[in-house]
Amino acid sequence: GESVGLHLPTLSVQEGDNSIINCAYSNSASDYFIWYKQESGKGPQFIIDIRSNMDKRQGQRVTVLLNKTVKHLSLQIAATQPGDSAVYFCAEGGNQGGKLIFGQGTELSVKP
């Protein structure tokens, strides 16, 4: 089913620390997962994606981990910066018609 958020979980970290944002996805048939960053008043911005045939993928300062057994996805941000403050959404795809199902999101707040 679709994930619907009634309120956003928040994560507060100190600048320079690592951040870990978690997401539980709903559809076992999903084979493509994406993390998006959304700043206030803007559209989602692609961060990193991963296919279901992988369990880890690294980008610049970001790593995505996929655990298909428990349908869990995580985003790790190294050396978190104030500019990383935003809402982060996971999305699952590979479903009919190319649709994406978004998770509820996590609001990341970075303290300088």
Contacts with another protein by CB under 8 A lie at: 2-8, 32, 34, 36, 41-46, 49, 89, 93-94, 97-105
- Cβ proximity to another protein, 98 vs 112, nearer residue: 98
Q: How far is the CB of 111 from another protein (least distance, A)?
A: 20
Contact 33, 66 (CB under 8 A): yes
Q: How far is the CB of 48 from another protein (least distance, A)?
A: 12
- Cβ proximity to another protein, 44 vs 75, nearer residue: 44
- Cβ proximity to another protein, 23 vs 66, nearer residue: 23
Distance CA 95, CA 77 (A): 27
Contact 110, 11 (CB under 8 A): no
Q: How far is the CB of 8 from another protein (least distance, A)?
A: 5
Query: Which positions ≥6 away from 46 have C-beta within 8 Å?
Result: 34, 36
The residue with tokens 């279901």 is 52
